[in-house]
Structure 1
Amino acid sequence: MVETDKKREQIIEGAIKRFIHFGINKTTMNEIAEDLSVSKPSLYYYFPDKTSLILGVVEKIFNDFFEAVYKEKKDNVPLDVSIPRLIEVKHRFFQKYYMLHLSGGAPDALINSVELRNFIEQMRSKVLSFYADLFEAAIKRGEIEQQDSSKIADLYMTSQDGLTSLCIMQGNKELMPGKKELKNMLERQLALSQVFVKGLKNNKQK
């Protein structure tokens, strides 16, 4: 079982490297097998098709992401300290995996599979719950005023996602954003979060 899990992880890591370098659409299962020097039957044993491999890659990325953000989630740390740290984590993942979003050719229906869309929606709900818990803890500490923490979390996530999309649209849509664009994106995300948290502050704490 351990050896099986290790081989599966090696395939996922190999797929991530090729996906990042060449794009998901332009990568074939045969190329991944060649990169890893594994037989095609062995590759298909772990991942029956490209859709299942893409899902495995996405699961790996989200697992690593949640491991990173939960390390930053500390009890009794004020929002104006914890939120910037979480933005930094998210930014690192964006930089590392941004190229996975690029098609680089004809649209690939595998990237838009129902299974993958459902999984990503589940992960978004998990992120939403994470931030809702973060805001709820701040409410209990008296740091911010009593509100619906889930609605606050949804508004915060939506505003950050919108800002990220805007920064991408303003830059080059086909290539990895340059250092200038990435720096600008991070600065604006941090600034927006500062305004957001300030607006939530309990008047007695200001």
Structure 2
Amino acid sequence: MHAETKDEMRDKILDAALKRFTHFGAAKTTMNEIADDLHCSKASLYYYFPDKKAMHFAVLEKIGEAYFQEMEKEAAATTSAAKALLNIIGIRKAFISKFSRLELFKVLQDSASMFHEGMKRAKLREIELHTDIIRKGVASGEFKVKHPEQTAEILVQALMGLRYSVPDCTLNDSDLDEEMFGAVIEQQKLLLEIFIKAMKA
């Protein structure tokens, strides 16, 4: 019989947590419930994660990696840089809609260093992805941009900023509801179209 490795057990815990978080919400899920789903003790969970917050962050890292891989695949496969940028908006919409119960926007407000550093890394990776797409557009003659990295940074910052400026809510509010999220996505599309038009000029 196959003996599970430490990494395999950790992945099983994360899969169970993701299933619970996605269905019931991260805040409403307890460590006991995850342990029950896995038919193990709560102490077993604490062997891998010091607390639920650390587990929540590990779940977000796991799905975040899948999110970036999907965006990077799209960027590599699409010949038009403008189309790749627009398609990434669709990937973002599908991702946040699918994982809305993971309380992604609450994490953005969390002051814990692990969340802060994780979001910083994610932001830098998204800027790098957009920089690569813009450079690809410049190389093909689709875009006329002198500073791709600076342009990508401004674009990503502006797209992220719409999370807080479009909805009629404060930073203390919980996750976006479907209507508010739809409004953010529509504004992101409009903003991106402005950027694309400027980069082609």
Structure 2 counterparts to residues 88-103 of structure 1, below 5 A? 88-101=90-103
Further displaced range: 73-82 or 89-98: 73-82
Residues 1:10 and 2:12 aligned together: yes
Alpha carbons 2:22, 2:101 under 8 Å: kept: yes
TM-score scaled by length of structure 1: 0.80
Residue pairs, 1:75-114, within 5 angstroms: 77-101=79-103, 111-114=110-113
Mean Cα displacement is larger for which, 47-56 or 61-70?
47-56
SS of alignment partner, residue 112 of structure 1: coil
**Alpha-carbon shift at residue 69 of structure 1 (Å):** 0.7
Q: Which residue number corresponds to residue 148 of structure 2?
A: 149
What does residue 136 of structure 1 align with? Answer: 135
Distance 1:22 1:112 in 2: 24
How many residue pairs were aligned?
A: 196
CA drift at 1:74: 2.5
1:17-48 CA distances to partner (integer Å, 9 max, x unpaired)?
A: 33344443443322321233221222122223
Contact 2:78 2:84 in 1 (8 A): no
Q: Deviations over 1:100-157 (max 9, x none)?
A: 22799xx9x9x53212211221121111111111111212222222321111111111
For residue 169 of structure 1, give the secondary structure of its aligned residue in structure 2: coil
Structure 1 gaps, min length 5: none
Task: Give the corresponding residue for 1:192.
Answer: 191
Contact 1:168 1:177 in 2 (8 A): no
Moved more, 159-168 or 123-132: 159-168
Partner SS state of residue 134, structure 2: helix
- Give the match for residue 30 of structure 1: 32
Instruction: Give the Cα separation in 2 of the matches to 1:103 and 1:23.
Output: 13
Q: CA RMSD in A?
A: 2.9
| 1:186 CA displacement | 2.8
Q: Which amino acid aligns with 1:33?
A: A
Is the contact made by 1:79 and 1:197 (CA closer than 8 Å) also made in structure 2? no
Q: CA deviation at 1:56?
A: 1.1
The aligned amino acid for 1:162 is G
- Give the partner amino acid of 1:132: T
User: Secondary structure in 1 aligned to 2:44?
Assistant: helix
Q: Work out the CA distance in 1 between the residues paired with 2:59 and 2:190.
A: 32
Change (3 A) 1:182 1:102: closer
